[in-house]
Structures are given as C-alpha cells and as structure tokens.
Amino acid sequence: MKNLRTIILFAFHCTLLTATAQIGAPYIHDPSTIVECDGKYFTFGTGGGGLISDDGWTWRSGGVRPGGGAAPDAMKIGDRYLVIYGATGGGLFGNHNGRILTMWNKSLDPQSPDFKYTDAIEVASSDGMEDCDAIDPSLLLDPTTGRLWASYGTYWGSIRLIELDPKTAERVQGNVEQDIAIDCEASALIYRDGWYYLLGTHGTCCDGVNSTYNIVVGRSKSVTGPYLDNVGRDMLKGGGRMVLSAGDRVTGPGHFGRTVIDEGVEIMSCHYEADFDMGGRSVLGIRPLLWKNGWPYAGERFHDGTFEIESERRGYSLELGVDFVRIAQERQNFRRVDPNEPVKPVPNQQLADVVSTWPTGEIAIRCSDYMFRPHQHWTITAVPEAGGYLGGPYFKITIAGTERALAATQDLELTSVPQYNGSDEQLWRIEQLTDGTYRLMPKRIPGQKEINTKYVIYSAGDSTPTLAEYDFNSDNSKWNLKRR
C-alpha cells in the first residue's frame, strides 16, 4: 500500500445499526484471516490492534498485536497461534525497507492467562533498493504436504513467496524467495481441491469512498506458481480475475482472508475502504465465499426482503400448510377470444383474500408447487439485537404482511406460530453455501441447551420439510432464496 498506511482505530460507539454490515465497531484496515480462539473470533489489522467478536457478528476493538506496521495474518497451527506481520510502513517514510516477522501465542485473547507473544523472528526483508516492499504477509499451511508458506509484497515490485518451518515459523534454511505476482498487494494464498490460489488486492487504497481497491485471483497446480488468471495470463504480468469489487454501498474491498466454517460453508473476510452507510469509514467486511468452475467469487451481502424459499431437492416452495385458495377467473373459450377486447391483468392473490381462511393457532409447514401465493411468501428480517454468528445476524422469518413466524419444534420439525416473540426457536441463521444455495438453521432447538450448529431445514420428502443434520453433499440441506 502506497504512502499512507497507518489507519488509526477509533474507539467508537455506534448507535446506528444496519443489518448488512458487521456491527459494533468493526473499524479496521487489512484484517488478518479471521481465527477462532476459545470461542471468540479475532482479526488483526494494520497499525497494531485488532478486533474481537464473541459471536462473529458484533465486533469491538481490543485485539493486541505488538510490532506495529502493516497488514498481518494469523492462523492456528497445532495448539498455538502464529501471527505474521510486516513491521514497517510500506513507503510511509519514503523508503521500501520492509521486514516480515513471525511470532507465536498460545492464545489470541488478551484476557487469557496463556496470552504471551514469543519474541518476533524476522523471516524476510526488502532492502529499499530492490523491487519489493516486504510488508503485507499472508500464510498458507499446505494441507497436502504440511509445508508452511508465506507471500508478501506490494505494488512496489513483486509479490514474493517464502517457505517457513511450521514448527518454529523461522525461514527454512536455504529457502530463496521467489516472485509470484506483480501489480497487487495484501496478497493471500489458499489451497482448495488440487489448486493453489493467489489472491491480490488491485487498484488504489486509502482514498476513502473513491478507493478503487478490488480483490483478484490467479491459480496454479503448484504453490510456487505460475499463477494464471481465467484467460491464462500470469499474475507476473499483472493477470487476475475479479473476486470482489465495489458495490452495495461499499467501495474498495481488500486484504482477502478465507475461513471455512463447515463443509461447503465458507466466508471471505476483507476490509472495505469505505462503507457508505458507516460514514465512509474503513470497516471489516465478511461475505460468503462461493466457488464456481474452480474459481472463487464473493457472495452477496444478505439483505432483508420477501422471498420464496425454494428447495434445491425438488424446486418446491416452503409454505404454510393451509388450504389452497383458488383465484377466481373469468375464463374465456380460447376459440372465441375477441382480439379487440382489451387485456385485463389478473391481480395477484392478496394476503387479505386468504388470511381469514387460515387457522389462528400453529400452522404446519410443508413444500409445494410455487404459485406466488401469500402462504408462500416469507419476509426475512434481521434481528441484530439477537446476536449472530460468523458473518451474519439472526433473522426472523415471517409470512409476508403478518407476524406469523417460522419456528423449530422440540421434536425437530417445523411449524409456524401466529405471533413472533423473539424466542431462539424463531431465530434463524442463514448462510450462503459455496454453490450459491443457502442453509437455514434455527438458533436453538426447544429443550436443547446449546446454540444449534447442526440442524437445518431439510427436505425429508419433496413436500415434507423437517429439521435434520446439515449435509453439504445432499440437496436436501439446500434452499434457494428468491427475492419476490
């Protein structure tokens, strides 16, 4: 990152809650990959501090990372946490003398008695004259070989790859740094399904709402490259396929990090240079990470709205188990249609047309052909005060125009209750899966003590939704949310 690198983190009480950005005080630049420690989530940023979240949704300052400098990364190896950071400013003082250091901690939580960083060890540097600025490091522990790699660098020269010893986080003896990309910074390395991916941040940072920062990717069958984009262009020639750019009232996504929550449930963390809804500040961003044809791309931030909830299994729609109310229609014999007679649109069936026919107590839930009828339209609304999970708040799911809420039952079935009351079995965790479908998970099963992380809405049969254990390899676990 050029010139101004240091972002000052303000302790800031945010009273304006929006359901789409991370809430609390998620002010950060260059967030490290989100790491879980002792049930809390941590990310470190440029400058020194970091963010902590108890639930992955509400963030506060309070992370502690000594050493200053720019753009750290963190990961868990064994029972320890490894932090890598650039101790310098990336041209902040007019030079490109960079240093990359590693250090360990048994905990990331400053409250933990185990919280104590080891002495930092230098693993790479740039001398100010060479075509490299040794800041912005990221880590990859190769799951196929157990070898530990780090990439680092900025626009000022190349992105370089080095190998570290996973036991000590020292540089492997005799390892020579290798150029793997140009034209980006805040790089990240990930491995998935036989491919190594190098993510870089392209564009211009640190220009507020006008920042053009964006995240691009190339991939390789070897960790040492060449990393090619979707048209075969080497990242050493500036190649890169877009993963995420501006949109949805945020600009300048940068500093990619991938966190796998569950099989088929992945998120990417980044910062937005400016969140228009947060006064144009630089904030933590968390998006679903989707995969298509071997390429990663960012999912949409989920916004409140009214949806059809359609099963991936059959394409049937989640609905109230009420009698189908036919729409009256003046039917014409098609052989006697008068082409000169004006066309009269048929109005949609309205809630008021049918609601009186519904029972007033609990109504069972089933799936059926989607006919865009009121008993098939669900309004999904964030409930920020109910807390959240990594990347999102809990939602209530109500029949559009009513307070009739979808709820989990003690015996792992679905029902609807006439009046939403905010209880945990009426709150839903909604996550976009890597294939673009969604899973919907009640916050708590009545009678169970723990927060539910297992049971999702599940197609027991084409017409019969239930709650069952999430299985990414079964379409029964998956739903499409279609905005209506």
Residue numbers of the site for another protein (CB under 8 A)? 2-3, 6, 89, 91-94, 97, 99, 125, 127-131, 155-157, 173-174, 182-183, 202-204, 207, 210, 212, 233, 237-239
Contact 169, 83 (CB under 8 A): no
Dihedral pair phi/psi, residue 314, rounded to 5°: -125, -20
Q: How far apart are CA 206 and CA 89, in angstroms?
A: 13
Residue 292 CB, nearest approach to another protein (Å): 23
Residue 125 CB, nearest approach to another protein (Å): 6
Q: Which residue in 220, 289, 291 sits closest to 253, CA to CA?
A: 289
Q: Looking only at Cα atoms, what is the longest distance across the chain? A: 89
Residue 169 CB, nearest approach to another protein (Å): 15
Residue 15 CB, nearest approach to another protein (Å): 29
Residue 33 CB, nearest approach to another protein (Å): 25
From residue 114, alpha-carbon distances to 34, 104, 166 in Å are 20, 11, 20
Nearer to another protein, 129 or 328 (CB): 129
Q: Which residue in 156, 150, 149 sits closest to 184, CA to CA?
A: 156
Residue 224 CB, nearest approach to another protein (Å): 19
Nearer to another protein, 38 or 127 (CB): 127
Residue 78 CB, nearest approach to another protein (Å): 22
- Burial class of residue 143, CB neighbours in 10 A (0-12, 13-18, 19+): exposed
Residue 62 CB, nearest approach to another protein (Å): 24
Q: Which residue in 188, 190, 204 sits closest to 73, CA to CA?
A: 188
The 10 Å CB-count burial string (b at 16+, else e) for 303-341 is eeebbbbbbbbbebbbbbbbeebeeeeeeeeeeeeeeee
Dihedral pair phi/psi, residue 246, rounded to 5°: -65, 160
Nearer to another protein, 127 or 262 (CB): 127
Residue 141 CB, nearest approach to another protein (Å): 24
Residue 202 CB, nearest approach to another protein (Å): 7
Please enumerate in sequence order all residues whose Cβ is within 8 A of that of 131, keeping only pairs 6 or more positions apart, or say none: 156, 157, 158
Nearer to another protein, 236 or 406 (CB): 236
What is the residue-wise DSSP string for 155-208? SSSEEEEEEE-TTT-PBPTT---EEEEES-EEEEEEEETTEEEEEEEES--SSG
Contact 295, 198 (CB under 8 A): no
Please enumerate in sequence order all residues whose Cβ is within 8 A of that of 447, keeping only pairs 6 or more positions apart, or say none: 410
Long-range contacts of range 258-262, CB-CB < 8 Å, 24 or more positions apart?
258/33, 258/188, 258/190, 258/289, 258/296, 259/33, 259/34, 259/35, 259/390, 261/390, 261/431, 262/470, 262/472
- Six token digits for residue 245: 């750019």
Nearer to another protein, 221 or 237 (CB): 237
Nearer to another protein, 6 or 230 (CB): 6
- Six token digits for residue 478: 């998956």
Residue 88 CB, nearest approach to another protein (Å): 9
Q: Which residues pair with 125 in a beta bridge?
A: 99
Nearer to another protein, 157 or 387 (CB): 157
Nearer to another protein, 67 or 401 (CB): 67
What DSSP designation does 54 have? S
Instruction: Provide the terminal-to-terminal Cα distance of the chain, rounded to the nearest Å.
Output: 42
